Amino acid sequence: MKSSFITALCVLAAVSLTFAQPEIKKVSTVTTQQFQTITITGSGFGKQAPYTGDSDYISVWDTTPDPGFQAGYEGCLMGFCTTDTVTLIVNSWTNTKIVLGGFSGQWGMFGYVLQKGDSVQIDVFDAQTSAGPAQVTLTVDGEKTTTTLTSTPNPSTVGEEVTFTATVSSSAGSPPDGETVSFMQAKTTLGTGTLSGGQATFTTSTLKKGTHGVVAVYGGDSEFANSKSKPDKQVVD
What CATH number should be reported for the domain holding residue 222?
A: 2.60.40.10
**Predicted local confidence at residue 65, as pLDDT:** 84
User: Quick one: 202 and 98 in the same domain?
Assistant: no
User: Quick one: 49 and 72 in the same domain?
Assistant: yes
User: Quick one: 63 and 155 in the same domain?
Assistant: no
Domain boundary among 107, 139, 171: 139
Establish if 11 belongs to a structural domain: no
Confidence of residue 7 (pLDDT cuts 50, 70, 90): very low
Establish if 54 belongs to a structural domain: yes
User: Quick one: 84 and 159 in the same domain?
Assistant: no
**Predicted local confidence at residue 182, as pLDDT:** 98
Establish if 2 belongs to a structural domain: no
**CA dist., res. 86 & res. 100, Å (int):** 14
Establish if 215 belongs to a structural domain: yes
pLDDT at 48 over 90: yes
pLDDT at 123 over 80: yes
**Predicted local confidence at residue 6, as pLDDT:** 35
Domain that holds residue 54: 23-139
CATH number for 129? 2.60.40
Domain boundary among 76, 109, 139: 139
Q: Which residues contact 13 (CB under 8 A, 6 or more apart)?
A: none
User: Quick one: 87 and 122 in the same domain?
Assistant: yes
pLDDT at 14 over 50: no
Domain boundary among 139, 170, 204: 139
Rounded to an integer, the average pLDDT of 85-91 is 95
Give how many domains the chain has, as a whole number.
2
User: Quick one: 132 and 171 in the same domain?
Assistant: no
**Predicted local confidence at residue 84, as pLDDT:** 74
**Predicted local confidence at residue 8, as pLDDT:** 38
Establish if 135 belongs to a structural domain: yes
Establish if 168 belongs to a structural domain: yes
User: Quick one: 129 and 35 in the same domain?
Assistant: yes
Percent pLDDT > 70 in the chain is: 89
Q: Would you say 107 and 86 are in contact if contact means Cβ atoms under 8 Å apart?
A: yes
pLDDT at 9 over 60: no
Confidence of residue 191 (pLDDT cuts 50, 70, 90): very high
User: Quick one: 171 and 122 in the same domain?
Assistant: no
Establish if 64 belongs to a structural domain: yes
**CA dist., res. 221 & res. 114, Å (int):** 13
Mean pLDDT, the chain, integer: 90
pLDDT at 68 over 50: yes
DSSP 8-class letter at 141: P
User: Quick one: 85 and 180 in the same domain?
Assistant: no
What's the distance, CA 162 to chain centroid? 37
**Predicted local confidence at residue 81, as pLDDT:** 65
Establish if 12 belongs to a structural domain: no
Rounded to an integer, the average pLDDT of 1-19 is 40
**CA dist., res. 13 & res. 204, Å (int):** 76
User: Quick one: 48 and 66 in the same domain?
Assistant: yes
For the chain, state the CA radius of gyration.
26
How many Cα neighbours within 13 Å face the side chain of 227? Answer: 20
User: Quick one: 40 and 128 in the same domain?
Assistant: yes
User: Quick one: 71 and 171 in the same domain?
Assistant: no
Rounded to an integer, the average pLDDT of 63-88 is 80
